[in-house]
Amino acid sequence: REVGITFIYVTHDQGEALSMSDRLAVMSAGRIEQVGTPRDIYY
């Protein structure tokens, strides 16, 4: 956010994903199941 770049980061750690993301995608079996903000997906 601070440097204004876009990147793809793969993790299985939900806490890490929540702290690093403005938007994220949740995948299952190689397919994207959900896309949204951390709040939309986890709360």
Going along 1-43, which residue ranges are E strands?
Answer: 24-28, 31-36
Contacts of 42 (CB under 8 A, 6+ apart): 14, 18
pLDDT score recorded for residue 5 = 84
Whether pTM exceeds 0.85: no
What is the spatial distance between Cα 43 and Cα 30, in angstroms, rounded to a whole number? 23
* ∠ CA 13-15-16, rounded to 5°: 65
What are the pLDDT digits (tens) for 1-43? 677 888 888 999 988 988 888 899 999 999 999 999 998 988 7
